[in-house]
Amino acid sequence: MSLAPSTFNSYRAALKSLDCFCREHNIELTLPVTTDLLCLWVTRNALRLSHSSIRTYLHGIGTMHTLLGHPNPVDGADLVWRAYLGAKRVQDGETTVEKRLPITVELLLQLERWQNVDSSDGRMQRAAMWLGTCGLLRSGEFVLRDKDSVLLKRCNLSFRNEEGHERGMNDKTVTYMQVRLDRSKTDQQQAGVNVVVSHPTALQTMRSYLAYRSKQTETEALFLSQNGKPLTYNELMQRTRALLLAA
């Protein structure tokens, strides 16, 4: 219970990756693992996993050893971290490694002409992309990513004027939106935090979407598809990729 569910799942994935490597090469996986085995695993994944994932997995393997009562094979293992630095250098000079570029305001503006604003789902997608980008939100904070997601609801969004007073979304004095996150990755105790989004286009896209969802209740998901189901991470990614390809 000392680990957040997402962190535990990441560490479990690290052990699973190591287990798959051992099965692939007919190696018996026993704990604690050896330095040689970890170096071989890092080398095998130098162009399969990003170096940041390799680092996270190494820490995960070490932590899981500790939790299971074994010595941490990563702590102070100079050869393992030299192997990691080698993988990082290979990736830095390897053009075949996929670079994941950010979704920026400039990119969203380029995608505007390809957005379908004639349907509720099209307006929802557009509003979600602008809110996520301008609010610097993680995907799990505004769409349904997994069973542990804390769904963003309509009541978590408000429109406010310069003095911070809540107003109707079409009030001419509105200067920003406020999003209340009840929980996030860095807020495991659920203290909550308010996020301010003031980009004019983000405001406009949200108003356009909510106008289509006029009958939406305060307790429903903020981003609700025409079929009545919350917008999921996979749907958001698929539609975003389609827009990028179209552009």
Are residues 35 and 71 in contact, defined by beta-carbon separation less than 8 angstroms? Answer: no
DSSP string, 191-247: --EEEEE--HHHHHHHHHHHHHTTT--TTSBSSB-TTS-BPBHHHHHHHHHHHHHH-
Residue 174: the pLDDT is 95
Instruction: Express each pLDDT in 55-112 by its tens digit.
Output: 999 999 999 999 999 999 999 999 999 999 999 998 887 555 456 788 999 999 999 9
Average pLDDT of span 228-235: 90
pLDDT band at 180 (very low <50, low <70, confident <90, very high): very high
Residue 182: the pLDDT is 86
Taking only Cα atoms into account, the Rg of the chain, rounded to an integer number of angstroms, comes to: 22
Over the chain, what is the mean pLDDT? 89
Instruction: Express each pLDDT in 13-53 by its tens digit.
Output: 999 999 999 999 999 999 999 999 999 999 999 988 899 99
Instruction: Express each pLDDT in 105-153 by its tens digit.
Output: 999 999 999 988 888 889 999 999 999 999 999 888 899 887 666 689 9
Q: Could you give the domains of the chain?
A: 5-92 (1.10.150.130), 105-246 (1.10.443.10)
